[in-house]
C-alpha cells in the first residue's frame, strides 16, 4: 500500500528516517542503542539503495523494450580498473535527497557526514585510468547513454598506504570486510571461461574447416552489479564486475613450464584470478596471472553481451549494431581475438564477417607514451594460456601484413615494425598493435598526447590508418569533484548563477563578471579559507603536522613516479629552506606543501622519493628559524575519499611533469575547477587548461616537448646545470650530505646519483625556470585581490573539462550513438 511505497521510495525527511530505522532493524538486525557506526552506515546505505532500485529496474525494462528493439546501441566500457569512490554521498547527491537525508539523520540524532565517512571506498584501480572510467560512467548516466561498465571485482584493491619512519608501508586493502551494500551478486548470470590446453582442427558436416579449443580447465565468472545513477536520476546504468570461482578442481600445473613462471606459485586456484589488483607502474612481462585476469574479464563480458543480445532476439551477426565497446588502454585488448573466437568458432560466423563486426565494435584509448608501459606478452606464455587466441592473432597478423606489404611494397622494415609480433629478440605479442588493427578508432587523452601518439609511439599505424586516429581530451565529473566535494563553493556559485552548471559546466562562464566584484571575491576567499581549515584539521589528525590555514597551500597529489617529478617540488622546498637559513629575516610568503600518492611496491626510486619528502618535512617542520613559514606534510593513503578533501583546499596545483610524459592528467582539472591556480609545464591537458583559463591565469614554466627532444639529441648533461647553478648545487649537496637524513649520506645516494648522472626527466634543466616561476607565484599570492580574481576566472573557464563533454565526443566521433 501507500505506506509500503513510502518506506522504499519516499524522499521526505520523515520517510527517510522511518526507512532508515526499518533497515537498521530488518536488514542489519539492530536497534539504535546497540548499533555500531557501521550498522548505521549500512542501514542508511540500504535506505538509499532502495531509492535507486526503482530507477535501476526501470532501466533494465527499457533495455528490454525500447532501446535494443529500436536498435539503439549500448556502450560497453571495458576496463581492468574502476575507482568509483565512496557511493553513499554521490548517490544522495544524484538522487537529490542530500538535504532531506541530513535532516532525517539529525532527527534521529546522527551526523550524516560521519556516516558517509564510514564507507570504505572500492579501490579497484591504480589512479588516473581507473578514476577516468568512473567519471565516464557517471557522465554516461547523466547525459542518458545506456551503458555497461565491465571490469574485475578484485577482492583486494590497491593497497592501503601507511607511512612508518618516513617510508611507505603497504597494507592489504580489505574493502569487502564489512560488507558491500552497493553490489548485487547475480550467480545465475555466470559465465564459463576456458584456459590453457590445446586446439583441434577438424572438418564440420558441410566440409568447412573448424577449430575446437580443448582447455586444460574452466573457471566461472560471477557478475556483481553496482548501480550507477545519473545526476537528477535520469537513468541508472550498471557497473558489472566479475569474480572468479572454481567450477571443478583445476590443475594449473600444465602452465608451469618454461622460465616465465618462476615467480608464480605452483598451484594457483581459480579464485586467485580476481584476488588482487596489480599495482601499475611495474613491468608486467611474464606475469601469467595478469594475462589470465585480463582474458577472464574480457571473455565474461563479451559472452554476457552476446547472452543479452540473444535474450532480446538478436543474432551474433548484429553484434556491432547493438554494441560498441571501448578498450580502456590495452588491458582488455585481448577482446579483439576473443570476439573473433566467439563469432567464428562458437557462432559459426565467417572470418571476414566476424572481422568486420569486431572492427566496428571496438575503439581503443591509449593512456601512456611511456615505452615501458606498453603491454606485450611472451608468445610462449600467451600460447600456454590462450592457444586458440595465439592462432587467431597469427591469422589476423597474416592478413594485416599482406595489407601492409600492398601499401608499402618492398618495405620489410615497415612490416616488422607494424607486426603484431615483436620478433626482434624473444618473441612477444604486442597488445597495442592488436588493438590498433582490431579497432575502428584509436584515441589519445589530450591534444598533445594524441599528436605525440601519431608522430611517435603509433607513427607507423597512423601512416597506415590515418582515419582511425582521434583525440578526446579527458574530463572529470563536476558532480563528485565540485558539487559533492566542495559544497561551500557549489553553494556560492549556484547562489549567483543558478545550479545549471552541474550538468552544463560551460555555464560557469557566467561567473566571469563576478571576478572583479570585491564582495564576491570576499565570499570566494572565505570559502577557500574554510576548506583550508578543514584540510588543516585532516593533516593534523593524519600526520601530526600543524599547518597554518593562512599560508599558501601548495599541493601535489598523484601517483609517485619519476616523470611526475615530485622531487623537483622537493628541490624547490629545499631552496626556500636554504634561503631562509641564510637570510632568516627575509620576508617570504608562508607556504604549506602537501604531498600525497602511492608508489608501486616494486618501484624503489618512487619509494625513496616518499622518504625524501618525509625527511625534508622532518627538518623543515621542526627548525625554529623556519617555524610558521614553511611546512611540509605527506598525507598518507591518497585515494578518492582523501582527494575530495584535498582539491577544494588548494591554492596552488603542482602539475610539473616533464613535457611529453604525462598523457593528460585529471587531477590538474580537479584542482583548477576548485579554484586552485596551476603551476605547470606544457604537458598533457595542462596545455588546454592554460588555453581555456588564459595564459595570464596560469603559471607556466619549463622545457617544451620540442626543446626536450632537442636537448636530448644534443646530449643532455645534468652536471653542467649543477656546476653552474649555486642554488641547485646547494640543494643537491644538502641532500647528499645527509642534512635531511640525520647525517646518513648514503640514504639518498641512489636518487642523487641518478640525477647527477642521467636525470632522465630533466629536473636540472627545469630547476631554475621552476624556481623563478614559484617566485612569481609567491609575489602573486601577496596580492590577494588579484589572486582571487584569477581563481574565480580559473573556475569560470573550466567548462571544457567536464567528463560530460568528453563522453559526448566519444558518442559523436567514436561510438556513433546519440544520447537518448
Q: Which span sits near ligand 26V by CB under 6 A: 27-35, 490-498, 504-512, 661-669?
A: 661-669
363, 684, 702, 799: residue in contact with ligand 26V (rule CB under 6 A): 684
Q: Which span sits near ligand 26V by CB under 6 A: 95-103, 136-144, 313-321, 658-666?
A: 658-666
Contact flag: residue 89 with ligand 26V (CB under 6 A): no
Question: Closer CB to ligand 26V, residue 28 or residue 168?
Answer: 168
Contact flag: residue 215 with ligand 26V (CB under 6 A): no
In whole angstroms, how close is the CB of 686 to ligand 26V at the nearest point? 10
Contact flag: residue 370 with ligand 26V (CB under 6 A): yes
* CA separation for the pair 671, 734 (Å, rounded): 32
Contact 487, 90 (CB under 8 A): no
In whole angstroms, how close is the CB of 523 to ligand 26V at the nearest point? 32
Contact flag: residue 663 with ligand 26V (CB under 6 A): yes
Contact flag: residue 664 with ligand 26V (CB under 6 A): yes
Q: At what angle do helices 726-736 and 763-782 cross, to 10 degrees?
A: 110
Q: Which span sits near ligand 26V by CB under 6 A: 91-99, 275-283, 390-398, 481-489?
A: 275-283
441: phi then psi, degrees, rounded to nearest 5: -145, 140
Active site residue 287: no
DSSP 369-382: --GGGS-EEEHHHH
Active site residue 561: no
Among the options 51, 240, 287, 367, which is catalytic? 367
In three state form, how does the secondary structure of 705-770 look?
Answer: HHHHHHHHHHCCCHHHHHHHCHHHHHHHHHHHCCCCCCCCCCCCHHHHHHHHHCCCCCHHHHHHHH
Question: Closer CB to ligand 26V, residue 200 or residue 372?
Answer: 372
Contact 646, 594 (CB under 8 A): yes
Among the options 575, 666, 678, 788, which is catalytic? 666
Active site residue 269: no
Contact flag: residue 662 with ligand 26V (CB under 6 A): yes
Question: Closer CB to ligand 26V, residue 381 or residue 560?
Answer: 560
DSSP 371-422: GGGS-EEEHHHHHHH-HHHHHHHHHHHHHHHHHHHHHSTT-HHHHHHH-SEE
Among the options 341, 433, 558, 572, which is catalytic? 558
* CA separation for the pair 693, 434 (Å, rounded): 38
665, 680, 718, 799: residue in contact with ligand 26V (rule CB under 6 A): 665
Half-sphere exposure of 116 (CA within 13 A, CB side): 21
Active site residue 592: no
| Overall residue count recorded for the chain in this entry | 820
Contact 377, 291 (CB under 8 A): yes
Active site residue 272: no
In whole angstroms, how close is the CB of 561 to ligand 26V at the nearest point? 6
Contact flag: residue 806 with ligand 26V (CB under 6 A): no
In whole angstroms, how close is the CB of 483 to ligand 26V at the nearest point? 22
Residue labelled with grid coordinates 653542467: 720
Active site residue 367: yes
From residue 615 to residue 644, the character string flagging contacts with ligand 26V as x (rule: CB under 6 A) and all else as - is ------------------------------
Phi-psi group of 773: left, alpha or beta (phi > 0 → left; psi -120 to 50 → alpha; rest → beta): alpha
- Nearby residues of 803 by Cβ (< 8 Å), 6 or more positions away: 132, 135, 136, 138, 139, 474, 475, 476, 477
DSSP 624-641: TTTTTTEEEEEESS--HH
Using a 10 angstrom Cβ sphere, with 0-12 exposed, 13-18 middle and 19 or more buried, the burial of residue 183 is buried
In whole angstroms, how close is the CB of 688 to ligand 26V at the nearest point? 12
Among the options 559, 690, 736, 739, which is catalytic? 559
In whole angstroms, how close is the CB of 559 to ligand 26V at the nearest point? 8
Question: Closer CB to ligand 26V, residue 84 or residue 309?
Answer: 84
Question: Closer CB to ligand 26V, residue 308 or residue 369?
Answer: 369
Q: Which span sits near ligand 26V by CB under 6 A: 280-288, 401-409, 494-502, 721-729?
A: 280-288
224: phi then psi, degrees, rounded to nearest 5: -120, 120
From residue 316 to residue 335, the character string flagging contacts with ligand 26V as x (rule: CB under 6 A) and all else as - is -------------x------
Q: Report, as residue numbers or ranges, the catalytic residues.
A: 367, 558-559, 564, 666, 670
Residues at the interface with ligand 26V (CB under 6 A): 127-129, 132, 280-283, 329, 367-368, 370, 372-373, 445, 474, 662-666, 684
Amino acid at each position: 500500500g501507500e505506506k509500503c511505497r513510502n518506506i522504499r521510495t519516499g524522499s521526505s525527511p520523515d520517510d527517510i528516517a522511518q526507512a532508515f530505522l526499518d533497515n537498521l532493524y530488518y536488514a542489519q538486525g539492530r536497534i539504535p542503542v546497540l548499533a555500531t557506526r557501521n550498522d548505521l552506515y549500512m542501514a542508511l546505505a540500504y535506505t538509499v539503495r532502495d531509492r535507486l532500485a526503482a530507477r535501476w529496474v526501470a532501466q533494465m525494462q527499457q533495455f528490454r523494450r525500447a532501446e535494443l528493439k529500436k536498435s539503439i546501441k549500448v556502450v560497453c566500457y571495458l576496463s581492468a580498473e574502476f575507482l568509483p569512490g565512496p557511493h553513499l554521498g554521490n548517490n544522495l547527491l544524484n538522487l537529490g535527497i542530500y538535504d532531506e537525508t541530513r535532516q532525517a539523520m539529525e532527527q534521529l540524532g546522527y551526523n550524516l557526514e560521519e556516516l558517509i565517512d564510514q564507507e570504505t571506498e572500492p579501490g579497484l584501480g591504480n589512479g588516473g585510468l581507473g578514476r577516468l572510467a568512473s567519471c565516464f560512467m557517471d557522465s554516461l548516466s547523466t547525459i542518458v547513454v545506456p551503458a555497461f561498465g565491465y571490469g574485475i571485482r578484485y577482492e583486494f584493491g590497491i593497497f592501503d598506504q601507511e607511512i612508518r619512519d618516513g617510508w611507505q608501508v603497504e597494507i592489504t586493502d580489505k574493502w569487502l570486510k564489512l560488507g558491500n551494500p552497493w553490489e548485487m551478486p547475480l550467480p545465475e548470470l555466470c559465465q564459463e571461461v576456458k584456459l590453457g590446453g590445446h586446439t583441434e582442427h577438424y572438418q564440420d558436416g558441410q566440409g568447412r574447416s573448424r577449430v575446437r579449443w580443448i582447455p586444460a580447465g574452466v573457471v566461472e565468472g560471477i557478475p556483481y552489479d553496482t548501480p550507477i545513477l545519473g545526476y537528477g536520476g535520469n537513468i541508472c546504468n550498471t557497473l558489472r564486475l566479475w569474480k572468479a570461482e572454481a567450477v571443478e578442481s583445476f590443475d594449473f600445473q600444465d602452465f608451469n613450464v618454461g622460465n616465465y613462471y618462476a615467480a608464480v606459485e605452483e598451484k594457483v586456484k581459480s579464485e586467485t584470478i580476481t584476488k588482487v589488483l596489480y599495482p601499475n607502474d611495474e613491468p608486467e612481462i611474464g606475469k601469467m596471472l595478469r594475462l589470465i585476469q585480463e582474458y577472464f574479464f574480457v571473455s565474461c563480458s563479451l559472452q554476457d553481451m552476446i547472452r543479452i543480445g540473444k535474450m532480446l532476439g538478436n543474432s551474433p551477426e548484429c553484434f556491432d549494431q547493438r554494441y560498441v565497446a571501448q578498450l580502456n588502454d590495452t588491458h582488455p585488448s585481448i577482446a579483439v581475438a576473443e570476439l573473433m573466437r566467439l563469432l567464428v568458432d562458437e557462432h559459426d560466423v565467417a572470418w571476414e564477417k566476424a572481422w568486420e563486426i569486431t572492427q566496428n565494435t571496438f575503439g581503443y584509448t591509449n593512456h601512456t607514451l611511456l615505452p615501458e608501459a606498453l603491454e606485450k606478452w611472451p608468445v610462449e606464455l600467451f600460447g600456454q594460456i590462450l592457444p586458440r587466441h595465439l592462432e587467431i592473432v597469427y591469422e589476423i597478423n597474416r592478413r594485416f601484413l599482406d595489407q601492409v606489404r600492398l601499401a608499402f611494397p618492398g618495405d620489410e622494415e615497415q612490416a616488422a615494425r607494424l607486426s603484431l609480433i615483436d620478433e626482434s629478440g624473444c618473441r612477444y605479442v604486442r597488445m597495442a598493435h592488436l588493438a590498433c588493427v582490431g579497432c575502428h578508432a584509436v584515441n589519445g587523452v589530450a591534444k598533445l598526447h594524441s599528436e605525440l601518439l601519431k608522430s611517435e609511439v603509433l607513427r607507423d599505424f597512423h601512416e597506415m590508418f590515418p582515419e582511425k586516429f582521434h583525440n578526446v581530451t579527458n574530463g572529470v565529473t563536476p558532480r563528485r569533484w565540485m558539487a559533492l566535494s566542495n559544497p561551500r563553493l557549489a553553494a556560492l556559485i549556484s547562489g549567483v548563477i543558478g545550479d545549471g552548471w552541474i550538468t552544463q559546466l560551460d555555464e560557469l562562464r557566467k561567473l566571469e563578471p563576478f571576478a572583479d566584484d570585491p564582495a564576491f571575491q570576499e565570499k570566494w576567499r572565505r570559502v577557500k579559507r574554510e576548506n583550508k581549515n578543514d584540510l588543516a584539521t585532516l593533516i593534523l589528525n593524519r600526520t601530526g603536522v600543524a599547518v597554518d590555514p593562512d599560508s599558501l597551500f601548495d599541493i601535489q597529489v598523484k601517483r609517485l613516479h619519476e616523470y611526475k617529478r615530485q622531487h623537483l617540488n622537493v628541490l624547490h622546498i629545499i631552496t626556500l629552506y636554504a634561503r631562509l637559513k641564510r637570510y632568516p629575516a627575509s620576508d617570504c610568503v608562508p607556504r604549506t606543501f602537501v604531498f600525497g600518492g602511492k608508489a608501486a611496491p616494486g618501484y624503489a626510486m618512487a619509494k625513496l622519493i616518499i622518504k625524501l619528502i618525509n625527511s625534508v618535512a622532518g627538518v623543515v617542520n621542526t627548525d625554529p628559524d623556519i617555524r610558521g613559514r614553511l611546512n611540509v606534510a605527506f598525507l598518507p593513503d591518497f585515494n578518492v575519499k582523501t582527494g575530495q578533501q584535498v582539491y577544494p583546499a588548494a591554492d596552488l596545483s603542482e602539475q610539473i611533469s616533464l613535457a611529453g610524459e604525462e598523457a593528460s592528467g585529471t587531477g590538474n582539472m580537479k584542482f583548477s575547477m576548485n579554484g586552485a591556480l596551476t603551476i605547470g609545464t606544457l604537458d598533457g591537458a595542462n596545455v588546454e587548461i592554460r588555453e581555456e583559463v588564459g595564459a595570464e591565469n596560469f603559471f607556466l614554466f619549463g622545457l617544451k616537448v620540442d626543446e626536450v627532444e632537442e636537448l636530448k639529441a644534443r646530449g643532455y648533461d645534468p652536471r653542467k646545470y649543477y656546476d653552474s647553478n649555486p642554488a641547485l648545487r646547494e640543494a643537491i649537496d644538502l641532500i647528499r650530505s645527509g642534512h635531511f637524513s640525520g647525517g646518513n649520506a648514503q640514504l639518498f645516494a641512489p636518487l642523487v646519483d641518478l640525477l647527477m648522472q642521467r636525470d632522465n626527466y630533466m629536473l636540472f634543466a627545469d630547476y631554475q625556470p621552476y624556481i623563478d616561476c614559484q617566485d612569481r607565484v609567491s609575489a602573486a599570492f601577496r596580492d590577494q585581490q588579484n589572486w582571487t580574481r584569477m581563481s574565480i576566472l580559473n573556475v569560470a573557464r573550466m567548462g571544457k573539462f567536464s567528463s560530460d563533454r568528453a563522453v559526448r565526443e566519444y558518442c559523436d566521433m567514436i561510438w556513433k550513438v546519440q544520447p537518448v
